[in-house]
């Protein structure tokens, strides 16, 4: 027996970001950092194909943002339909995804079509695809491979032309190993994989994105745009950003509300304590090692060799001075 869908499913569909009720963060396209520029190149290459895309990244990094950019670059005429897989009703999951053939008076045309039908000719974005049940994962793969869906209670399949972009914050390969994710679906999605780095791993994006959030919130709230002090800029660049882009948006929004003509370091309300000077140096060193060419790394090694000797001498002198002070106090 098929499932009977009694209420219309909740889904978000956006024809264009400028006309959609998105958060400011969802329109913050920033590709200044070298890693982000490389990601954009990968994105544009994938967008030109018909491959399904799997976006992997931590929560708050902007996976839906990339999905929308893929849709725009693909020039598909249909809608971009975004679905949170964690919010799908277990009882009516199949009907929500593929639609149903019933004629309930309370059901809209879009609910009868399901998310696949609503995204026909466009892009279907499934956020946290790992939250789908295994049986539904298998039916999703069949729909993608056959380009058709069978609605609940329907006698015949319905052809569909849908580009799938899926996102996850978990390791789906590990989920496959423990039997929590369909191996064939993973292989199908992994052909078009994009890995979205954490915000702290693309530091050159931080200040442009901070200024972007600041400007848009100032415009929305009809407030003058304050300057960001040098100390605040340094704090923004060297903070670890555990909440990624989402946290940066919140920090800049708060700073705008509590600052005057200039945003100072004290106006930045981070979710975790700001890093110490040593942590900042270590983070900057890691970035230099990652991005530097052979000549720069050789120069950096020579600099640290000289620095290590100076530090050892300074530590020895400080130790002798401390011992002398202790002996004089006895």
The upper half-sphere exposure of residue 221, i.e. CA atoms within 13 Å in the direction of its Cβ, equals 14
283 belongs to a structural domain: no
243-281 pLDDT, tens digit per residue, is 999 999 999 999 999 999 999 999 999 988 765 545 656
**49 and 151: one domain?**
yes
Query: Locate tokens 């670890």: which residue?
Result: 240
Q: Which residues pair with 227 in a beta bridge?
A: 262
Number of domains in the chain: 3
**147 and 20: one domain?**
yes
17 belongs to a structural domain: yes
Domain that includes residue 236, residue range: 200-267
**193 and 206: one domain?**
no
Element (H or E) spanning 255, and its range? helix 244-258
Cβ neighbours, 10 Å, residue 303: 10
Interval 15-21 mean pLDDT: 40
| Six token digits for residue 182 | 């369909």
185-211 pLDDT, tens digit per residue, is 999 999 999 999 999 999 999 999 999
CATH of the domain at 189: 3.40.50.300
Q: Tell me which of 170, 197, 224 is where a domain ends.
A: 197
**92 and 232: one domain?**
no
Q: Is 58 left (phi over 0), alpha (psi -120 to 50) or beta?
A: beta
CATH of the domain at 252: 1.10.8.60
141 belongs to a structural domain: yes
**189 and 210: one domain?**
no
Please give the share of the chain, as a percent, with pLDDT higher than 70: 79
CB 128 within 8 A of CB 67: no
Q: Is 153 left (phi over 0), alpha (psi -120 to 50) or beta?
A: left
Strands (E) in the chain, as ranges, are 12-14, 53-56, 80-84, 123-127, 148-149, 158-159, 163-168, 193-195, 227-228, 262-263
User: Looking at residue 48, what is its pLDDT?
Assistant: 95
127 belongs to a structural domain: yes
Q: Tell me which of 197, 212, 228 is where a domain ends.
A: 197
2 belongs to a structural domain: no
| Six token digits for residue 176 | 């496959």
Element (H or E) spanning 295, and its range? helix 294-329
Say if pTM beats, i.e. exceeds, 0.95.
no
Kindly state the greatest CA–CA separation across the chain: 96
CB 288 within 8 A of CB 258: no
Q: Tell me which of 267, 301, 316 is where a domain ends.
A: 267
7 belongs to a structural domain: no
Residue 152 to residue 154: CA distance in whole angstroms: 5
Nearest partner of 23 among 79, 82, 97, judged by Cα? 82
Residue 13 to residue 23: CA distance in whole angstroms: 14
33 belongs to a structural domain: yes
Strands 123-127 and 80-84: parallel
**204 and 187: one domain?**
no
287 belongs to a structural domain: no
Q: Is 241 left (phi over 0), alpha (psi -120 to 50) or beta?
A: left
Residue 40 to residue 46: CA distance in whole angstroms: 10
36-50 pLDDT, tens digit per residue, is 999 999 999 999 999
**140 and 214: one domain?**
no
145-185 pLDDT, tens digit per residue, is 999 998 888 888 899 999 999 999 999 999 999 999 999 99
**71 and 193: one domain?**
yes
Interval 103-109 mean pLDDT: 50
**99 and 233: one domain?**
no
**69 and 129: one domain?**
yes
**51 and 104: one domain?**
yes
pLDDT band (50, 70, 90) for residue 307 = low
Nearest partner of 196 among 40, 1, 16, 57, judged by Cα? 57
**134 and 256: one domain?**
no
Is 7's pLDDT higher than 60? no
């Amino acid at each position: 027996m098929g499932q009977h869908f009694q209420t219309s499913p909740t889904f978000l569909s956006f024809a264009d970001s400028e006309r959609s009720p998105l958060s400011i963060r969802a329109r913050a396209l920033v590709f200044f950092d070298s890693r982000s520029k490389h990601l954009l190149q990968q994105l544009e290459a994938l967008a030109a194909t018909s491959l399904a895309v799997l976006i992997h990244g931590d929560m708050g990094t902007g996976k839906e943002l990339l999905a929308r950019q893929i849709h725009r670059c693909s020039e598909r005429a249909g809608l971009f339909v975004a679905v949170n897989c964690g919010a799908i009703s277990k009882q009516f999951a199949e009907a929500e995804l593929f639609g149903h053939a019933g004629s309930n008076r309370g059901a809209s045309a879009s609910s009868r079509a399901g998310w696949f039908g609503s995204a026909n000719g466009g892009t279907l974005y499934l956020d946290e695809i790992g939250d789908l049940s295994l049986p539904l994962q298998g039916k999703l793969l069949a729909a993608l491979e056959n380009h058709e869906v069978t609605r609940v209670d329907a006698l015949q399949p319905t052809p569909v032309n849908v580009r799938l972009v899926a996102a996850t914050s978990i390791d789906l390969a590990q989920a496959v190993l423990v039997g929590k994710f369909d191996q064939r679906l993973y292989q199908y999605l992994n052909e078009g994989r994009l890995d979205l780095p954490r915000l702290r791993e693309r530091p050159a994006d931080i200040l442009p994105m901070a200024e972007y959030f600041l400007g848009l919130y100032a415009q929305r709230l009809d407030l003058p745009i304050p300057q960001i002090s040098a100390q605040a800029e340094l704090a923004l660049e060297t903070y670890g950003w555990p909440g990624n882009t989402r946290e940066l948006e919140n920090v800049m929004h708060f700073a705008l509300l509590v600052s005057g003509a200039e945003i100072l370091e004290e106006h930045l309300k981070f979710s975790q304590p700001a890093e110490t000077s040593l942590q900042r140096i270590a983070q900057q060193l890691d970035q230099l090692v990652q991005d530097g060419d052979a000549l720069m790394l050789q120069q950096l090694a020579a600099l640290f060799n000289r620095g290590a000797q100076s530090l050892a001498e300074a530590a020895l002198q400080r130790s002798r001075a401390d011992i002398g002070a202790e002996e004089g106090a006895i």
